[in-house]
Structure 1
Amino acid sequence: MANPANEKKLKNRLLVWLGGSIGPYFLRFFYNTNKWDIEGEDYYKDILKSGRSVIIASWHSTLLTAFMGLAKNNYHGLAGNHHPDAEIISRVGKKLGWNIVRGSSTDGGKKAYNEILEILKSQKTVFAITPDGPQGPAKIPKPGAIRAAQKTGAVIVPIAGQSTKHWSFKNWDTFYLSKPFGRISLLFGKPLIFNLEDSFEDCSAQLKSSLDQLEKEVNSRVGLVKDN
């Protein structure tokens, strides 16, 4: 008689293997066959030249566009722990040129957060974070990115991207995956500098406003009228 637990483990291993193996090829095809219109890259590049680290902040719903737009640069990103989806994300990210830190809010979160702080302090680098991830609420910043910026002196650069052709998947937010042969608009916003004495409420409001405005602008540029 089959053991359901063993069957589930086998299924998860198969999904992880398939996702980690073919995922990068699909993403490259979907995104590299689009025409990219990128604006504002100098915002974060100038910060790196000045010797400071950068936190790239994107809403979870459009993280893949930022993820693919910044691939191959040996930058850093975050994936969860002990879950098949997180393992797939980690494997795909590494194959696309990202350094992935593993951790979640329930296990390994503190260790991962401390590792993020050390990376931002010790390296002139970029760390990509979704302020409302991994499980929402949608478009409401959590403390992680803001506190990391305050503690390390890193500068937050908001980013938003959207494609003229995409699939959308509704869960706790509306997650977008670009279709091939479209046009992608990727916008970097003005840098946000948060000091230790700044209140989280004020910083959160600034970050949310910037991300929302960028999202509205890229949606307009690709003809996506409704903001999901």
Structure 2
Amino acid sequence: MAKNAKANPFLMWVLGWAGPAWINLVKWTTKTEVIGRENFDQVMNSEEGFIVAFWHSRILMMVPMRQLYKGKRFWFMISEHRDGDMIARAVERFDISFARGSTMNQRKKDKKKGGADALRTLLKALKEGEGVGLTPDGPRGPRQRCQAGVAQLARLSGAKVYPVGYASKRAKILDSWDRFHMPLPFTKGCYVFGEGICVTGNTPEEMEASRLEIEAALNHVTKIADETMGHDPVMPAEHRATRQDR
């Protein structure tokens, strides 16, 4: 199917009903704990904008987490790819605003316009003290490898990046590129909040160091979540060379 193909209208309708229903079912039947509560409280009590970063495989239960930020507008970066249409339809009922585009992979020339528009939207939101959720390995991976966009957004906005992991005890790990973690109802779950990461460097070397710091922190909190819920941690995809590596 072409990359910019439109999603099936019937499928979109099903997701618009079934997605929120499933998320709410899991939410209301799951006993959830928060590890790193002090970091969570720091986000909740801050009047400054903040970035919450999580891997693409854990996006489903990051949606109801939005409801904890009462009084703050919350944004998700959603790709312009067909998959982004499906995600947007599934979570639009949870009072989440969307910036469509991708600031994640600067090598994709055809994404520049959408990425620039999304970047401006998110920078404005962060300056106004709002929250932004990003999947640094989305929309197509490699799995659990942080792309440059989240560090760039943090540097330009001055907002801290808070890595968040999630896992539930009863879950189906899908055979997808990201090993999607599909939580099941009537179980236990946990969020793991890491410390906020400041990105202040300007040189390519400093930005790469920040990117790697965010990646390591995200893998760490996700590993804790998996192990707490009795799962073997999902391993990051094999490293792919980027221009910075060459």
**TM-score (normalizing by structure 2):** 0.81
1:226 Cα deviation from its structure 2 partner: 4.3
> What's the counterpart of residue 98 of structure 2?
100
1:118 Cα deviation from its structure 2 partner: 1.7
What secondary structure does 1:70 align onto? helix
> What's the counterpart of residue 3 of structure 1?
none
> What's the counterpart of residue 75 of structure 2?
76
> What's the counterpart of residue 156 of structure 1?
161
Q: For each residue in 1:44-77, what CA deviation from the matched residue of structure 2 results, as whole angstroms up to 9, or x when unmatched? A: 5435644321100111121223233234644111
Q: Is 1:191–2:196 an aligned residue pair?
A: yes
Conserved 8 A contact 2:51-2:134: yes
**TM-score (normalizing by structure 1):** 0.86
> What's the counterpart of residue 177 of structure 1?
182
What secondary structure does 1:170 align onto? coil
1:148 Cα deviation from its structure 2 partner: 0.5
Structure 1 residues 170 and 71, CA gap change in structure 2 (3 angstroms): farther
AA partner of residue 20 (structure 1): G
Q: RMSD between aligned alpha carbons? A: 2.3
Conserved 8 A contact 2:168-2:187: yes
AA partner of residue 156 (structure 1): V
Matched residues in 1 for 2:129 and 2:155: separation? 16
AA partner of residue 99 (structure 1): S
2:124 to 111, 118, 128: 118
Structure 1 residues 47 and 227, CA gap change in structure 2 (3 angstroms): closer
Which sections of structure 2, spanning at least 5 residues, go unmatched?
A: 103-107, 236-246
Identity of aligned residues (%): 25
Matched residues in 2 for 1:15 and 1:67: separation? 20
> What's the counterpart of residue 5 of structure 1?
none
Matched residues in 2 for 1:218 and 1:206: separation? 19
Alignment map for 1:1-228 (pairs within 5 Å): 12-47=8-43, 49-71=45-67, 73=69, 74-81=73-80, 83=82, 85-104=83-102, 106-107=110-111, 108-121=114-127, 123-197=128-202, 199-228=206-235
Q: For each residue in 1:157-194, what CA deviation from the matched residue of structure 2 results, as whole angstroms up to 9, or x when unmatched? A: 00001000011112222011100011001110011011
What secondary structure does 2:8 align onto? helix
Conserved 8 A contact 1:160-1:214: yes
Matched residues in 1 for 2:151 and 2:81: separation? 25
Structure 1 residues 127 and 223, CA gap change in structure 2 (3 angstroms): same
- Counting matched residue pairs gives 219
AA partner of residue 180 (structure 2): F
AA partner of residue 77 (structure 1): F
Which deviates more from structure 2 when the two are superposed, residues 99-108 or residues 23-32?
A: 99-108
Conserved 8 A contact 2:201-2:207: no
Matched residues in 2 for 1:82 and 1:190: separation? 31
Conserved 8 A contact 2:66-2:94: no
Which deviates more from structure 2 when the two are superposed, residues 61-70 or residues 201-210?
A: 61-70
Conserved 8 A contact 1:66-1:160: no
Matched residues in 2 for 1:118 and 1:70: separation? 19
